[in-house]
């Protein structure tokens, strides 16, 4: 899995450099351009789809959260492999993954990364006896790193997106459009469900057009016009909307099964346990876990853990 993952990351970054070279922009302009044009982000071939009508591959945006979640999974495996083998290539691969993550505008990925390793480090600290000196040095390192990034302000896609989000909130007193559109979508959906509770049991069916129609109907009922998106943008809202309460229950059961399975599988199992906890939280504002890429990779991880750590 790591061998395939290493090639995925190398190809992804190579394509990113190819676009930089072919578009003829300065590095700063190119980073700014790719911040708002997701189809040019380094997501490998995961943003390529086959148009059955034309028979041609087309680039799409909006999947960087899925690819980013996959990168965090690769990072966990790479770090574990590095700790176990101290293999030099694992160091290089870990660095390449972090570079790849930095050129995605996925806040979901950043949050997943922070939650996974934040929970894991907290777990280690609570179970171990670290000296105060070690803790102070760690905090000092984090402080220096944060200040360095604030002063240096490197041209990195993820930093640009976070800076835009913070400036949007400070200047206009509200969150950026991506966040507000999701909030409006959820508001309209839950208002409709509240007024039509018969849909809670079985949902509307997996039909994006029907979902958007329901949002429009609710707008008309309330006499408002709210900018929103045409998809649930949440694993939990999506399973509830498309399949009803039973589908939502099965979705939560999927996470619970993974947590129980990984809970007592050694160091790697604990890392993956907190990764799944992070997925549960980040999929509240996304649905990366439903993507074929994530489901297939989680399946491979399950088989690996079952074979080697069972």
pLDDT at site 111: 86
pTM of the model: 0.82
pLDDT at site 193: 92
Q: Helix, strand, or coil here: 58?
A: strand
Contact call for residues 2 and 81 (beta carbons, < 8 A): yes
Within 10 Å of residue 217's Cβ, how many Cβ atoms? 13
pLDDT at site 107: 79
Query: What percentage of residues in the chain have a pLDDT greater than 90?
Result: 21
Structure-model confidence comparison of residues 13 and 293, the more confident one: 13
Q: CA quadruple 65, 53, 296, 235: dihedral positive or negative?
A: positive
Structure-model confidence comparison of residues 170 and 2, the more confident one: 2
Give the least confident one: 66-70, 234-238, 296-300: 296-300
DSSP assignment of 144-173, as one string? HHHHHHHHH----HHHHHHHHHHHHHHHHS
For residue 174, report the phi and psi dihedrals to the nearest 5 degrees: -150, 165
For residue 299, report the phi and psi dihedrals to the nearest 5 degrees: -65, -40
Q: Cα 294 from chain centroid?
A: 10
Structure-model confidence comparison of residues 14 and 49, the more confident one: 14
Domain boundaries defined on the chain: 2-169, 181-310
């Amino acid at each position: 899995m790591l061998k395939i993952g290493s090639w995925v990351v190398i190809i992804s970054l190579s394509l990113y450099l190819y676009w930089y070279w072919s578009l003829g922009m300065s590095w700063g302009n190119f980073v700014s351009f790719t911040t708002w044009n997701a189809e040019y982000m380094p997501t490998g071939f995961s943003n390529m789809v086959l148009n059955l009508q034309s028979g041609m591959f087309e680039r799409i945006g909006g999947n960087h959260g899925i690819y980013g979640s996959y990168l965090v999974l690769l990072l966990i495996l790479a770090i574990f492999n590095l700790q176990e083998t101290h293999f030099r290539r694992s160091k290089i691969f870990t660095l390449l993954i972090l570079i790849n993550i930095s050129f995605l505008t996925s806040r979901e990925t950043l949050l997943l990364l922070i939650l996974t390793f934040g929970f894991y480090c907290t777990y280690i600290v609570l179970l171990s006896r670290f000296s105060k000196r070690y803790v102070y040095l760690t905090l000092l390192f984090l402080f220096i790193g944060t200040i360095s990034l604030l002063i240096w302000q490197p041209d990195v896609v993820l930093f640009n997106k976070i800076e835009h989000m913070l400036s949007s909130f400070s200047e206009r007193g509200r969150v950026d459009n991506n966040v507000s559109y999701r909030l409006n979508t959820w508001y309209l959906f839950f208002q409709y469900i509240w007024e039509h509770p018969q849909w809670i049991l079985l949902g509307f069916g997996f039909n994006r057009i029907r979902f958007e129609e329901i949002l429009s109907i609710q707008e008309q009922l309330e006499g408002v016009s709210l900018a929103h998106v045409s998809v649930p943008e949440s694993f939990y809202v999506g399973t509830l909307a498309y399949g009803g309460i039973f589908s939502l229950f099965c979705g939560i059961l999927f996470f619970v099964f993974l947590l129980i399975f990984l809970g007592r599988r050694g160091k790697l199992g604990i890392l993956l346990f907190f990764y799944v906890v992070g997925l549960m939280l980040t999929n509240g504002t996304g649905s990366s876990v439903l993507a074929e890429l994530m489901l297939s990779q989680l399946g491979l991880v399950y088989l690996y853990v079952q074979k080697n750590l069972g």
